[in-house]
Chains A and B, each alone.
Chain A
Amino acid sequence: MTVKVEVIEGGIPHQKIMIAGLVSTLVCLYLTYLNVVTNTEMFAFFGGLAVVTALVWGSHTIKVLCSYGIGTGVPSAGMIAFGSGVIAMLLATKFGSAAPIVALVLAAVIGFILGYISNNILNMKIPAMVQALTEMAVVGALSLMGFAALITGGFTFADLTAGEVSMFGITMGSTENSFIGGGLIAAAFLLGAIAIQHPFNATLGPGWKQDRMLMLTAECGFLSMIGAAIMSFAFISMGAAMLSLIVAIIGWAYTYNQYICLSKRDAASWLDAKPIPEMEGH
């Protein structure tokens, strides 16, 4: 978590969250490239951290967009983010080590045109629309790339389509057991799409607090990371996958606790309802 989540009068401005999210996501994505440099797979967990930072930025973008009352529900924003993001991400993986930068540029172009379409052709006339859809496509593309790096240890097309199958002790290459060929990209897609749209959907209302929503996003991100880290056992070495899983579980436990604390802080009152007691002879 590189985005500072704490109470400031009026909250952190969106511009700051955007820049912090973008920079930390790209840095985390490139840290997974250390796998290639050092010829290990231990740095795959940085992909998961890239997902979390991108999601934190994305959920705040959704807040900016959806506070205009677009009338279509918050989940639709998450869906268009990942719908346009997956398209940019798949093409960007073809560009080798430049993939994150290409994904950023390509997703920004797609998002900008989609924003123009919604604002002008569909006559939405919402001031934040173009910027929000641009940001959201970038978030979608970068978080999918983060999932790819977390699960396979790399983000190039060759990494994502290479898999191996072992039969009678002989290891053979098989595209069926790869990130794309095995359909894991679909699971990553929904893990991200749900994590990005849930936080604002769950915390919106008159009692909305920025730090609570961002903490919930981080919690959702780490929860998705746990799922993706389990998938990564199929692709990267046991130690590397275990490291990802431990990072994800620690991150999730911490953010979950923090989120509960923030919820108690913002609640009018709360009651620690114990599990249903066993009533003997009742």
Chain B
Amino acid sequence: MSAVAAKPQAGGAMNPTAMGVGVVMLLIILALCWYVSPGAGLMALVGVIIGGVLIGFGTHFVPVGGAPAAMGQAPGIATGVAMLAAGAGLAGLFGGAWAAEQGLLVATITGGVGGGLMMAITCMMVNFVYVFGMGIPSASGKVAKDPITGDTQAEFKSQGTEGHGLPFVSFVGGVVGGFLGGAGGTIIYLELLTLYEATLPLVMKMRPAEVMPIAVTAAGMFAVGLFLVNAVLTAYNITGTIEGPHDPKFKRWPRAIVASAVASALCGFVAILIVAL
């Protein structure tokens, strides 16, 4: 960064007033949606909010290392939250979209598996590169013992680093995060697709088969937009890097839940207005 004017002061602290304002905003948007489109619209909005919250919560599990990880000085995958979450979420979204005709449950799980699979492959290849390419073992700097396997970490950690590679718990966190993100993205897509399929023929005065491409693309674009908004807000919450579910930053998740819920409600409401107005 060129001119570092001020470091972000985002600590673990909560801001109760702002959280309250957020909940009030959420309720206002829900009320507005109920006023504009009481039946299908409100159902879709609730689905979008659930999906958005799943994305926001799931992103906390993904081990994001950023630039320090690329130099082997911090654990995690060496890229930013937005890229990883978008990769996992979109892989899941595409998986879920294929299964859209099989019902909400099957499609959501398919989307989750797609996202989880993408993260599992990424984590494995990242560890391959770390261990066999860069010659560094996997060690966490935040905990003394791996919470899942119980392996000690300190003796593998190089001096002057915060750990390196992807310890087992980070790997599991990545897969869980990919699953939640993929499932969340699929829920948003399916809810909006169902709404558009039902209402767009009336709005555009066309046959259902004719509006299908519009419904699919609009729902897909809104899902992608919502996904990126939620992923970046979560990235702001964890200020860039996180090791996985064992990282102290993981405890900030309640803030992200409120933030994701409000942001998803807002964007989802706008997406519903396109057919409700």
Q: Which A residues are within 8 Å of any B CB, using their own CB? A: 63, 66-73, 75-77, 79-80, 82-88, 90-91, 94, 106, 110, 113-114, 116-118, 120-127, 161, 174-176, 178, 180-183, 185-186, 189, 204-206, 208
Query: Residue among A84, A174, A182 with the most chain B CB within 10 A?
Result: A84
Once the chains bind, are B228 and A83 in contact (CB under 8 Å)? yes
Q: How far is the CB of B239 from chain A (nearest CB, A)?
A: 4
B15 engages A124 (CB within 8 Å): no
Whether A189 lies near B224 (C-beta < 8 A) is: yes
**Contacts A91-B270, A121-B255, A121-B259 given; does A76 touch B80 at CB 8 Å:** yes
Q: Please, which residue of chain A has its CB at the minimum distance from the CB of B204?
A: A161
**Bound Cα distance A161, B213 (Å):** 9
Residue pair A70, B222 in contact (C-beta under 8 Å): no
- The answer to whether A72 touches B221 (Cβ under 8 A) is no
From residue 160 to 213 of chain B, which have CB atoms closer than 8 A to chain A?
204, 206, 210-213
**A206-B2 contact given A70-B236, A79-B82, A124-B236, CB 8 Å threshold:** yes
Considering only CB atoms and an 8 Å cut-off, how many residues of chain B contact the other chain? 67
> Do residues B240 and A120 form an inter-chain contact, with CB atoms below 8 A?
no
Q: Given known contacts A87-B226, A87-B270, A90-B274, is B2 in contact with A80 (CB within 8 Å)?
A: no
Binds A, one of B4-12, B102-110, B111-119, B149-157: B4-12
Do residues A71 and B241 form an inter-chain contact, with CB atoms below 8 A? yes
B227 contacts chain A at the CB level, 8 A cutoff: yes
Beta-carbon contact of B228 and A127 below 8 Å: no
A175 and B229: CB pair below 8 A?
no
B residues with a Cβ closer than 8 A to A are 1-11, 13-15, 17-19, 21-22, 25, 66, 79-83, 86, 204, 206, 210-214, 217-218, 220-222, 224-229, 231-233, 235-237, 239-241, 255-256, 258-259, 262-263, 266-267, 270-271, 273-274, 277
Given contacts A86-B221, A110-B266, A181-B213, contact A125 B8 (CB under 8 A): yes
A88 to B83, CA, bound (A): 22
Q: Tell me, in angstroms, the Cα distance from A86 to B226 when the chains sit together.
A: 9
Cβ distance B131 to chain A, nearest Cβ, rounded Å: 25
Of all chain B residues, which has the CB nearest A83?
B228
* A181 touching B233 in the complex, CB below 8 Å, given contacts A69-B7, A86-B224: no
Contacts of B83 in A (CB 8 A): 73, 75
- What distance in Å separates the Cβ of B173 from its nearest Cβ neighbour in chain A? 18
The residues of A that contact B266 with a CB separation of less than 8 Å are 110, 113-114
Q: A69-B7, A110-B266, A124-B8 are in contact. Are A205 and B231 (CB under 8 A)?
A: no
Are B270 and A121 within 8 A (Cβ)? no
Closest 8 CB pairs of A and B: A83-B228, A71-B240, A181-B213, A120-B18, A73-B80, A76-B82, A80-B232, A72-B235
Contact B80 A66 (CB under 8 A): no
* A68-B8, A72-B80 as given contacts; A185 in contact with B217, CB under 8 Å: yes
